[in-house]
Structure 1
Amino acid sequence: MGKKVVILSGAGLSASSGISTFRDSDGLWEKHDINEICSAGCLDWNYEATINFYNLRREDIKDKKPNNAHKMIARVKEKYPSIVEVITQNIDDLLEKADCKGVLHLHGFLKELRCMNCERVVNIEYKLQDSTNSTCSKCGGKLRPNIVFFGEAAPQYEKLYKLLEECGLLVVIGTSGYVIDVSFLSQYADKAILNNLEPSQAIVEDCFDKIYYEDANSAYKKIEDDIEEYINSL
């Protein structure tokens, strides 16, 4: 039986902080064809537009502030560093802004570039990627956003499944279940909690012991209490 609390978050965690989510009808994504700026191979034939899109997204997160849910996750991680594991599908830095340590970003991190040749990773903070910082200082290769595009391998999933093997309580916050089958992941845990704005056709409600259909920014206290209760029962 696992003892860890695994918190897995998606776009719904950051939505009330004003970050454009993938499925927003008026978000950054809506103005672009995903196949052209976010799919395997697009850097080969659409390099400039792809780089420009992620420059816009980096600009978008610069002034955004963590909400109550980000701060709650940072709090429980700080309080129980060896029990709580924080995993996110988000590529923003709001958990880091809330001072959360050891976040595992499954789909990459907006502030990083990665060499397409030697895999070296560079943090450029909120700078634009342009001709001055697109060449690897180690091998001379071309740099790209350190983001997992659709159709590309996601190397961090291996770590996700390793952590799930030790999971006692799974807390899922703000994910539709279309990219990651959270109903399946819940089977790894003894208990599972779901917090989404609304029901999703991709999620089986029976797989979860508790469900909160509300904004993470308001559900955070209940979730924090649930985590405390679980850890105190160990």
Structure 2
Amino acid sequence: MYQQIVILTGAGISAESGLRTFRDQDGLWEEHKIEEVATPEGYASNPLLVERFYNDRWQQFHNGCIEPNAGHTALAKLEQQFEGELLVVTQNIDDLHERAGSKRLLHMHGELSKGRCPRSQQTFILREPFGPRHTCTCCIPAQRLRPHVVWFGEMPFGLDRIQHALDSCDLFIAIGTSGTVYPAAGFVDTANHHGAQTVEVNLVAVDRHSQFQYHLEGKASELVPKLVDDILSGKIVNNVL
């Protein structure tokens, strides 16, 4: 039934795997000021503090207890079985989508598993937490890598590709995202403008100002597998699964 699908995932889908979120009440922002650990100015002022902040999350990702949940695996299943075009855009910096098997994936806020050369912007895979030995191989002298994460005041990655996909999609789904931070908050307006069906999946009650046409309230790990099965069976998505 659908030909081109764009899916946006946020912190909610990873929270079900045990990852702490940035914006919830127990989120990491309560332990650090945003300007200290999530801005270019904070990094320039105290790179060691910023590295420790992201190293704590790196350790959490690799402690052996964090695994993809049913929401992640369902999206990977959709990618494997859907015959049309599909793009999953994630705001998350973890690699749970990849672990579940997703490949048609765009990390608009970067990836914690990578460091980036501040001069050339080339990225490098990190197999251990950040430290002074992590330098690029593209410059002379070698540059110390910074986290490959989009900070406040920086432009998200892949916006042209995302815009193109939204312009031509016939279904846009947002999963586990607050929908309050731009530019991602404007994706639903773009999809609506081009005639797509728009659906949000979230734990919280529907905001009366929401621009989504359909709202599914509950856990992503429970709702997304049902949603994927409906899409693959050719059903039109609505408020009832």
- Paired amino acid for 2:166: L
CA shift for structure 1 position 111: 0.2
In the alignment, structure 2 segments of 5+ residues that lack a partner are none
Distance 1:81 1:18, change over 3 A: farther
Alignment-derived partner of residue 110 in structure 1: 112
TM-score, length of structure 1 as denominator length: 0.90
- Residues 70 and 221 of structure 2 are in contact (CA less than 8 Å); yes or no, is this contact kept in structure 1? yes
Distance 1:149 1:200, change over 3 A: farther
Distance 1:75 1:184, change over 3 A: same
Percent identity between matched residues is 33
Q: Deviations over 1:185-229 (max 9, x none)?
A: 44144211110001365x734x33321110101112331134225
Match runs of 1:1-234 below 5 Å = 3-62=3-62, 63=64, 64-80=66-82, 82-125=84-127, 127-133=128-134, 135-139=135-139, 140-179=142-181, 180-181=184-185, 182-187=187-192, 188-199=194-205, 201=207, 204-205=209-210, 207-230=211-234
CA shift for structure 1 position 174: 0.5
Tell me the distance in 2 between the aligned counterparts of 1:150 and 1:230. 40
- Paired amino acid for 1:204: H
- Paired amino acid for 2:222: S
Tell me the distance in 2 between the aligned counterparts of 1:197 and 1:90. 17
CA shift for structure 1 position 6: 0.8
State how many pairs are aligned: 228
Question: Runs of 4+ in structure 1 displaced over 3 angstroms?
Answer: 229-233
- Paired amino acid for 2:54: Y
Distance 1:200 1:20, change over 3 A: farther
Tell me the distance in 2 between the aligned counterparts of 1:4 and 1:230. 13
TM-score, length of structure 2 as denominator length: 0.87
In the alignment, structure 1 segments of 5+ residues that lack a partner are none
